[in-house]
Amino acid sequence: MTECPTADQLRMLLDAALPAPDQAAVEGHVDHCAACQQALEQLTAGPQPRPKPGWVDPLASTFLARVQALSPVPGLGATGAWRDDAPVPPPDVPGYDVEGELGRGGMGVVFKARHRRLNRTVALKVLTEGGLADPGVRARFLIEAEAVAQLRHPHVVQVYEFGEHAGRPYLAMEYVGGGNLAERLAAGRRFTPTEAAELVAATADGVAAAHAKGIIHRDLKPSNILLNAERGARGSESKTADPSSGAFNSAPRAPHSALEPMVADFGIARVGQSHVTATGEVLGTPSYMAPEQAAGKTREVGTATDVYGLGTILYELLTGRPPFEGETAVDTLQRVVHSLPRSPRAVAPGVPRDLDTICMKCLEKSPAKRYPTADALAADLRAHLDGRTIVARPARSWERAARLARRNPVPAAALAAVAATTLGALVWVNEARREEAAARRGEEAARLAAQDNERDALHAKNLAERGAALTAFDRAVSLCEAGSVAAGLDEFARVAALAERAGDAELVAVVRRNVAAWEDHRPREVRRFDPPDPARPVTAALFAADGRLLVTASRRGGPVRVWPVEGQRPDATPAHELAAPDPKRPGVVGLFPAPGGRVLAVYESGHVVEWEPGTGEVVRSDLAFDLASPVRAAGATAPGREQSGRLVAAGCADGTFRLWDADRREFLIGPGDTPVFPHHFRGPKKLQRFPSGPDAPGPAPPGPVTAIDFGDVGNMLLTAGETDGVILHGMPVPKTGRVGDPIADGRIDPRVPYHQFDLGGAVFRLLVSPDRQHFLAGGATAVSLWTIHERDRPLWTHGHPDRVTALAFSPDGRVCASADRGGTVRCWDVQSGDFRAQLNFAEPVAALCFPAATPNALLIGSDSGASALWRLPLLAELAERPAEPRPVGPGVVIRIGSNPDQAVRAGFDPMRRGEWTATPRRLLFWPPDNAPRSAIVPQDTEALVADAVSVSPDGRVALMVVAGRPTFSVCDRTGPKVAFKRVPAAGVTRTGFLTDAAFFTISEGAAAEFGLWELDREKGATRRAAWPVAGVTCAAPHPDGKSVLLGVAGSERVAFRDVATGKEVGPAFRHAAATAAAVDPGGRWAATAGAGQGVRVWPLPGDRPVERSPLHADRVNALAFGTGPSAGVLATASSDGTARFWDARTGHPLGPPLRHPEAVLSVAFDPAGERVITGCRNGYAKVWPAPRAAP
């Protein structure tokens, strides 16, 4: 109508009293007339009756299904009542009167409402609080509103209006009260093939209308197909969309079903090129999802995806179940991606062949093999209903003839009679050929589908095997770094097999390089000495005659044996055997070196025997300790540390000990003028944490002395026991004379124990270091290192799997070893406490001893009676370069981490093929072959800026900066003496060479800038360019010499900048708080280190890091890429005390870490790529072998 309706017509419109033709005309006019809408507002103004919020329309189950489609909520029943939460106050949306809540789902609440102006019932959908908080849910809600609002089609639920009120989006849509298709199926409703084809054809019309608007539904399933019983009862016209024009071609049909389908719930639809979901995100319902959805391939989702969904609906209508059902959602998704569905005819034999063919074409795995559009599917379904040939399968000759006969019975009968007599044979042959060709095509299609499935399954298998290989790789590295190198190498072999099966050639190469690196760290048995003999476990061992002879003995008796270390006797017997002086108590408590290369043996009988190991001749034998209680532990003063004389100490089972003067052959006097000393501390005791039972209210009874040894210069004695821990004693006096007071001020009585070390439990083994300033203590579950002069706490403590049974120091005192009752042997760095190596044996280890003549070796004696020499990977560095002054003084452990003068930066000297080290106090050049060093030393009151020291690639020039000076120095090293040129430049904090002749400086402070310089023989250097930059945290030149990689404080970007202009060139990398950067000499990678402990490797010229990021336990201070044979290797230096190597292609670690006692500040490769030098905070630089590149 063109004129506005009267007020009476508007009132009749509100009361639904207009005739049907007038009602439709007035509604259409009001929808587009603002004046009439205002008039309706006035007519409906005033309070309106509103039902209680908790009331639910019993006919609204279809909308509950729409709410539940994506994320069903427990407690939302079939009647639509919300059971778990209290009713929510209805929204106050202008123009609508909310009559009650219909239901709710994961993201929205649906209300039944009345539109005031049009007086029609609508479904009003709004977001919940949770939906508002989730940006993804809000986006999908708005997509549904915008998408469906564009559609006007009889088979699509119409949206009347959508908008936002009070910050909450809402959607007003057509109210449909006939339920949904899923409810009909669940109620046992069976659809005939004809009804199923009609329903799906009509549904496809609605989906085609959506496709014409560029909308992909992505979640077609029975619960999203609403059924309009009223409209279906009146009959309808099936319409087909023309995507090009947007019009619909009517094809009238008398429906077999009174139900008309309507497509609903576009909540996860994709409109045009919008991508709400991320790549790889899976949205939809598993049983009805297309394979590309189930596999997370969102870029392949299109119209064919909805065709697959229509096929699943058709399949369920024909068979009563979806194509795929699994025990779990993951199982269902796996079947959707990798399995072929059974045909509908195989499940329900009554399904027509054409309908079976149409359904299976919809369910093809490849989108390209399905119907290209929903229109094509609808057309084929109607062709089947009309008895025409379908596109999915050309009709056979006899089928076409039968259909023609049904449409034209009289002419067809005559034609059939003629054809039967004249062309029967030809038709039969032609049909046979067609069927044979169709069978071949079917076989080919099945073969191709099988190949696709096999390829997908192989890809999935490879991904799983690669994941297993990466997990096993991490486990292998952990085993090797924990000391179980043999077990780790076995695990690496398994990793290689998994990686080869997965086709991961890069991981195979990394594994091979790790095996080569760790193989050098596998402990190896060098030589066996004592054969196994459980009756004579080896509990004591000593190398004599400058390491040429090995002496072994046992606490359980048997002879003391002497073995040659080099060579072997033909009969594998010892060179000498020494019998016990007392056969009743033949056990040897300890073996000790004596002056003149002789050996001292202390027996449990109390005998002290001194003899020549080379000849087996006994020099003297004394029954020094003729005691009722057997001797359990013994100690002796070391040759050269005998201020109190040659003393032998014996600890007994009764908790006492005696001291024997071997020169005077007499006891030393204890308290009360007796030679008996108790292992007991009479002062305030440390807290002892010994286990005690409920029946032990008092202190533990005195136990045996388990270990005893001399400290310092023989004027101090340490005893250990199961009670009272470790006690430090001053030396008593001999009967015939007095010795000096060991305490400097002489205030403490030397006969009284004057310190108890707090070890917190029983101590079973104790050993003093070669310098006699430290001692190792082994307890029930730990080993700790203490210094005699600093007694408050240990220098370090490490756990042990079982009770400690043996301890040893290397002759130089740099490495120590501990063993336990479970057969575990561990080696430690004495100064830092870092773990060095581990061996595992099946039986308890009872003796350890480092040889003096064989580096990196350890003698191990076990309870089985066997003894063997093992080679250990204890010191991997090639050389050590101390900065001056030397950081460690004699007899004292210096905590050097707090001394900034000892922080070392180091590199290689290409000109003389040596190394250089820089500290704030000096720049040292180390020539090879121990040639004299050259040093550049500032004045006493000045200090070098260590980060500003750099050496040119050819080694001819060095740059250095003295803190506080407005200059930097160019040092020409080509002459007999170093020539200095001071160049004006204030605030220089960093320097670096771009080429042999060009370099850069970075200044901070008032003159913050980047300077580009060129070497000049007369001036030292000439500035070529400068540009402002402040807060530089790292800088690394590109190998082309034209750009530099810079990180700046406060920025999350590390970018390449042109050295002449400062403009960004090439890629930039995101890495917050960058601390270090490096560029591969071949220009293939860049690396950055920053916040946290992570390192990122960036393949150039891209801006995405490799899959795995190298990781340290503390800040990363320096990075370097290898060259030559170590090309493709990244080296990192960290404050966690390690430097590590990594494969630049994959980010995997290569070989063992390079351990240091303090933070590692710098790392660099030599030009040949064969060595690496690291600078440590402890004042040393170390040279290491570099790993080689992948084979």
424-481 and 485-502 helices cross at what angle (nearest 10)? 160
Query: For strand 120-127 and strand 796-799, is the pairing parallel, antiparallel, or unpaired?
Result: unpaired
Give the DSSP H/E element, type plus range, for residue 207.
helix 193-212
Name the residue type at position 1169: G
> Burial code of 942-967, b = ≥16 C-beta within 10 A, e = fewer?
ebbbbbbbbbbeebbbbbbbbeebee
**Distance, CA of 846 to CA of 876 (rounded, Å):** 27
| Residue carrying structure tokens 């530099």 | 1044
Name the residue type at position 1021: A
Q: Are 258 and 227 in contact (CB under 8 A)?
A: no
Kindly state the greatest CA–CA separation across the chain: 148
**Distance, CA of 612 to CA of 430 (rounded, Å):** 111
Task: List helix spans (H) across 482-598.
Answer: 485-502, 505-519
**Residue 822, phi then psi, degrees to nearest 5:** -85, 0
Tell which residue, 94, 63, 93, has the closest CA to residue 80: 63
The gap from C-alpha 1110 to its chain's centroid, in whole angstroms, comes to 10
**Distance, CA of 660 to CA of 669 (rounded, Å):** 10
**Distance, CA of 12 to CA of 9 (rounded, Å):** 5
Q: Which residues contact 765 (CB under 8 A, 6 or more apart)?
A: 706, 707, 720, 776, 777, 778, 804, 805, 806, 807, 818
DSSP H helix total and E strand total for the chain: 20, 68
Whether 97 is a known active-site residue: answer no
**Distance, CA of 993 to CA of 641 (rounded, Å):** 54
CA torsion, points 54, 60, 63, 69, in degrees to nearest 10?
90
Q: Are 579 and 618 in contact (CB under 8 A)?
A: no
Q: Are 232 and 260 in contact (CB under 8 A)?
A: yes
Question: Half-sphere exposure (CA, 13 Å, Cβ side) for 1128?
Answer: 14
Q: Which residues contact 86 (CB under 8 A, 6 or more apart)?
A: none
**Distance, CA of 581 to CA of 609 (rounded, Å):** 8
**Distance, CA of 1180 to CA of 904 (rounded, Å):** 7
Q: Of 205, 219, 654, 724, which residue is the catalytic one?
A: 219
Task: Categorise residue 987: left if φ over 0, alpha if ψ from -120 to 50, beta otherwise.
Answer: left
Tell me the DSSP string of 577-623.
EE--S-TTS--EEEEEE-GGG-EEEEETTSEEEEE-TTT--EEEEEE
> Burial code of 210-224, b = ≥16 C-beta within 10 A, e = fewer?
bbbbebbbbbbbbbb
Token digits for 605?
Answer: 């009988």
| Residue carrying structure tokens 């070529």 | 1024
Query: For strand 998-1003 and strand 988-993, is the pairing parallel, antiparallel, or unpaired?
Result: antiparallel
Name the residue type at position 104: R
Cis link prior to 1101 (omega < 30° from 0)? yes
Q: Are 1015 and 957 in contact (CB under 8 A)?
A: yes
| Residue carrying structure tokens 């390192």 | 1095
Token digits for 394?
Answer: 């050309």
- DSSP assigned state of 340: P
Which are the catalytic amino acids?
219
